[in-house]
Amino acid sequence: MKQRLLFLGPPGAGKGTQSQLLASENGLLHLSTGDLLRAEVHAGTELGQQAEAVMARGELVSDKLVLAIVRHRLEGHSQGWLLDGFPRNLGQATALDSLLLQLNQSIELVILMALPDEILVERMLSRGRADDTEAVIRHRFDVYRQQTEPLIDHYQKLGLLISVDAAGTVDEVSAAIRNSLGR
Ligand code: B4P
């Protein structure tokens, strides 16, 4: 089983849901930048205060803040990890590459979760997070298309990308992921 993985996909695709399952089954560190940012907001830290309004608008928090969070978690962690929701643009991908080079580690596989927009909207509206209103969801899709989607091509060219059908139930999607990992 690969030990250093990225989950890529549109907002609401189920990256958090599936990466949590896979990480706990395989003893990998689950690093969700969305969860870590929400925890900072909840704790009312300076970083959280800076991130809160940006997240509520459905935009991306600054690369500098997100990178500081990721660097802090990956430094000193020599075991496997699963990155969920990071990188989210080419700048973050490049910064991740240099960080990993310093740590003498590399990405082994990128899992793209693919599914139609109608299902994504349905899932997010039923999740009901503060940034899950219809207007904000629409804006997050635009941000995804402009900033995150180019990463598909980037990782495809590096021969690291596999695509999984993420439209089924949680169990069906987990089975598809396990299958694609050859397990
Ligand atoms: P994230 O926390 O990454 O959230 P997400 O992309 O919206 O959702 P995810 O794909 O993880 O879906 P989930 O499992 O919850 O980002 C939130 C915000 O944080 C961003 O907009 C941005 O502002 C900021 N941020 C995060 N990372 C950043 C970065 N690197 N740089 C800058 N800013 C960053 O699933 C969705 C719902 O569907 C859940 O309710 C779930 O229970 C349900 N579900 C999941 N799988 C299902 C299935 N198979 N069938 C039915 N329901 C399912």
Mutate to test the pocket of ligand 1, among 123, 124, 174, 177 (most ligand atoms within 8 A of CB): 123
pLDDT at 47: 92
pLDDT at 1: 84
Nearest atom in ligand 1 to 143's CA: 21
Nearest atom in ligand 1 to 86's CA: 30
- Predicted confidence (pLDDT) at residue 7 exceeds the cutoff of 90: yes
Q: What is the spatial distance between Cα 72 and Cα 99, in angstroms, rounded to a whole number?
A: 11
- Predicted confidence (pLDDT) at residue 183 exceeds the cutoff of 90: no
pLDDT at 120: 95
**Which is it for the CA torsion 103, 108, 112, 113, positive or negative?**
negative
CB 51 within 8 A of CB 65: yes
**Which tens digits make up the pLDDT trace of 104-130?**
999 999 999 999 999 999 999 999 899
**Which tens digits make up the pLDDT trace of 38-55?**
999 999 999 999 999 999
- Predicted confidence (pLDDT) at residue 154 exceeds the cutoff of 90: yes
pLDDT at 182: 85
Q: Where does residue 65 fall: left (phi above 0), alpha (psi -120 to 50 degrees), or beta otherwise?
A: alpha
Q: How long, in residues, is the chain?
A: 183
CB 91 within 8 A of CB 23: no
| Three-state SS sequence of 112-155 | EEECCHHHHHHHHHHHCCCCCCHHHHHHHHHHHHHHHCHHHHHH
Diameter of the chain by CA atoms? 43
pLDDT at 76: 85
Say what percent of the chain tops pLDDT 90: 96
Q: Give the count of beta carbons closer than 10 Å to the beta carbon of residue 183.
A: 10
**Which tens digits make up the pLDDT trace of 70-84?**
999 999 898 999 999
Q: What is the mean pLDDT of the segment spanning 80-101?
A: 97
Closest residue by CA, ligand 1 atom 2: 34
Question: Which tokens sit at 43?
Answer: 């704790």
Residue whose structure tokens are 């397990």: 183
Question: Which tokens sit at 86?
Answer: 């990071």
Q: What are the pocket residues of ligand 1 if the criterion is a CB atom closer than 6 Å to any ligand atom?
A: 9, 11-17, 33-34, 37, 54-55, 58, 60-61, 66, 85-86, 88, 92, 123-124, 127, 140, 168-170, 173
Residue 12's pLDDT band (cuts 50, 70, 90): very high
Question: Which tokens sit at 142?
Answer: 């635009």
